[in-house]
Amino acid sequence: MNKKSTPSNQELNSYLVQEDTELLKYLISNYPNKKKALLKQVMGGGQIRINGDVITQFNHGLKKGDEIQINWAKPSKKVKLQKLNILYEDQDLIVIEKEAGLLSVASLKEKKKNAVQILKEHMEAIDPRIKVYIIHRLEREASGILLFAKSQKIQELLQNSWEDYVIDRKYIAIVEGKIKESSHTLRNYLRSNKNNQVFIVNTPENATEAITHFNLLKQSNAYSMLEFKLETGFKNQIRVQMAHFGFPVTGDKKYTAKKNPLGRVALHANLMELKHPISGEHLKFELVPPSNFRNLVAKG
C-alpha cells in the first residue's frame, strides 16, 4: 500500500493501488484491524472513491496505479429497511437498492407499502423536514438501483433534463434459452392499452419506438445472462422485447416465460452513473444481482 497523501486530520486517506485486485479484498488486506462489516459499511456509505468516482460495489476491479480515497470521518449512510437499502445519501439525493416485489410508488390497486412510503417514513423519523421525491421508477418485479431527490426542485431538474445528467444506466437479466449473438440491438414499436398492458405493433402509428442493446455475459444450455443498455425508456421494455425476440426473461409469466426458478422476474438494475445536478460531481453506483440470481446460469 503506497500512501499518496497524508491529510492533517488523518480522516481522508489517499493511496495508489500496487497490484490488480478487487475493492473488498484490497480493504481487508490493507486494514486487517478493521472488521469486514465496517469495511462494507464504508463502501455502502459512498465513502470510497476510485479515481474520483464514488464506488459502492464490493467486487469492483482495481488496477495497478488506481487512486483510492477513503473518507473514514463520514458516517455510513447505508441503512437496511424493509425491502430496500439506502446506498448513498447527501443533501440533495438518495440512492437505494430496491428488492424485487416492491412497488416504486403507490398504486390505486395496491395497499402494501411501496419504496417511496418506506423511505419517507424512515426519513421523517430522523428529521421531519426531510422530504422524498421519486425521480424515476423501477418495475415491481425488478430489483436494483433507484434514485430519489430531497426537493421538488431537484426532482424536476432531473426529470426534465434526464439526458443531461444521467450518463449511463444498465440492467442485467437472465433469459430462457441459449442466445447465439454475443451482442444485439432490438428495435420495436411499443404501445400500451388502458389496462397498462404493453405490446409490440408493426407500425409507428400511436406507438413509441423502443431501442434496446444487449451483450451476452454468460450462458448455459437453459439460460443466458445478458447486460442491457436502454436507448429509450418504456414500461416493461426489456421484458416485452425479449419475449418477442424469443428469449423471455425467466420468471416473467406475464410475457411468456415458462420457468420461475427464482420466484421472481430475473431483472436487475445494476448500474447508474450520473452528474450531480447541483455540485456537478461524477457519481457511479454498481450493484451486483443477488447470489441466487448470479448462480442460476451456472446451474443451468
Give the start-to-end residue ranges of the domains of the chain.
Answer: 2-71, 77-160, 167-300
Q: Are the folds of 77-160 and 167-300 the same? A: yes
- Written as tens digits, the pLDDT of the chain (300 aa) is 444 333 333 456 788 999 999 998 999 999 999 888 788 778 766 688 888 777 777 778 899 999 998 887 654 444 556 778 888 888 899 999 999 999 998 876 766 789 999 888 888 777 778 899 999 999 899 999 999 999 999 999 999 999 999 999 999 999 999 999 999 999 999 998 877 788 899 988 888 999 999 999 999 989 999 999 999 888 899 999 999 999 999 999 999 999 999 999 999 999 999 999 999 999 999 998 888 888 898 766
CATH topology of domain 2-71: 3.10.290
Distance CA 131, CA 124 (A): 8
Q: What is the predicted pLDDT for the residue at 44?
A: 67
**Nine-digit cell string for 24:** 473488498
CATH number listed for the domain at residues 167-300 = 3.30.2350.10
CA atoms within 13 A on the CB side of 210: 26
Query: How do beta strands 12-16 and 67-71 pair?
Result: antiparallel
Confidence (pTM): 0.71
User: What angle do helix axes 23-30 and 36-44 make, rounded to 10 degrees?
Assistant: 130
CB atoms within 10 A of CB 50: 20
Task: Compute the radius of gyration of the chain from its Cα atoms.
Answer: 20
Distance CA 1, CA 3 (A): 6
Name the E strands within 232-292: 267-275, 282-286
Q: In the CATH scheme, what architecture does the domain 77-160 have?
A: 2-Layer Sandwich (3.30)
